[in-house]
Amino acid sequence: MSTTVSQIDEVKTTPWAGGTSPFAVEYGKIMMWFFLLSDAFTFSSLLIAYGALRFSSAAWPAPDLIFQSVPGMIEHGAPLVFVGLMTFILIMSSVTMVLAVEAGHRGAKKEVVWWMIGTIIGGLMFLGCQALEWTHLHNEGFWWGSVPEMHKLLEFFKDPKPTNIVATTYGHQFANLFFTITGFHGFHVFSGVVINIIITINVLAGTYERRGSYLMVEKIGLYWHFVDLVWVFVFTFFYLV
């Protein structure tokens, strides 16, 4: 029996030699990363369109005048408080998610379930807050393609007040972009909550215990953190800038 192997028959074991993933990450997780990459492009184009329209505007509704109420509590003079609460809720739910992933590494089923439930509650709270915010703005007169009456609309612009036609044009642009972008983000949160619920049911049913790994929790975790990440950008560009 010959022990020499010709160079071409030698099995290569370098990471990029084929046969195994050079990324050392499971297939589904790589696909989640690339889905999130494409989703990042979608959100970027929406936010860049918003930026371009806002930079080219003659006047824009001031965020601290539009978002200065806490629905059901404070009508005026509390800019950013409510959105601060929403941001806190979402970051908090990101933490519970990553704790669920951490518990999954240890195979602690009960802990995974509790942290997942925490994440779901956080997601639902965020959606509730967003519903309140939308209702508030809708009551003021903002909606897709509609703005408040002129005297009310002008209150949302800082001095010097723009002309009526300028206020109407950019008020409309603000309303359309706000509801489209936060709506698209809210839809992502909603899908995330639904998928989180499905994963939690699977954890309870012991699906991942039988499979021997809680990789699915990690994958939905990636999605959930991405949703949090998008909110960080929406928050900056709609509420702060």
Partner 1 sequence: MSSHPAHTEDHAEEHEGMTKKRIWNVFYILLAITAVEFFIALYLVPHKVMTYHVANPIYIVLTLLKAFFIVGYFMHLKFEKAGLIFAIIVPVLFIIGLILVLTNESHHWIDLRL
**Positions that interact with partner 1 (CB under 8 A):** 13, 15, 20, 22-25, 30, 33, 37, 40-41, 44-45, 48-49, 51-58, 64, 79-80, 84, 87-88, 91-92, 94-95, 97-99, 101-102, 105, 218, 221-222, 225-226, 228-229, 232-233, 236, 240-241
Non-local (6+) Cβ contacts of 14 within 8 A are: none
Nearest approach in angstroms of CB 13 to partner 1 is: 4
Per residue in 22-53, is it b (16+ CB within 10 Å) or e — as a string? Answer: eeeeeeebeebeeebeebeeebeebbeebeee
DSSP symbol at 9: G
Q: How far is the CB of 154 from partner 1 (least distance, A)?
A: 20
Residue among 204 and 240 whose Cβ is closer to partner 1: 240
Helix then strand count (H, E) for the chain reads: 8, 0
Contacts from 98-103 at CB under 8 Å and sequence distance 24+?
98/221, 98/225, 100/217, 100/221, 101/214, 101/217, 101/218, 101/221, 103/214
C-alpha dihedral over 76, 79, 82, 88, to 10 degrees? -160
Nearer residue to partner 1 within complex by CB, 30 or 194:
30
Nearer to partner 1, 104 or 186 (CB): 104
Smallest gap from Cβ 144 to partner 1, in A, equals 22
CB of 15 to partner 1, least distance (A): 8
What CA–CA distance (Å, rounded) separates 130 from 82? Answer: 10
Give the nearer residue to partner 1 in terms of CB position, either 139 or 163.
Answer: 163
Tell the smallest beta-carbon distance from residue 59 to partner 1 (Å): 11
Comparing CB distances to partner 1, the nearer of 141 and 169 is 169
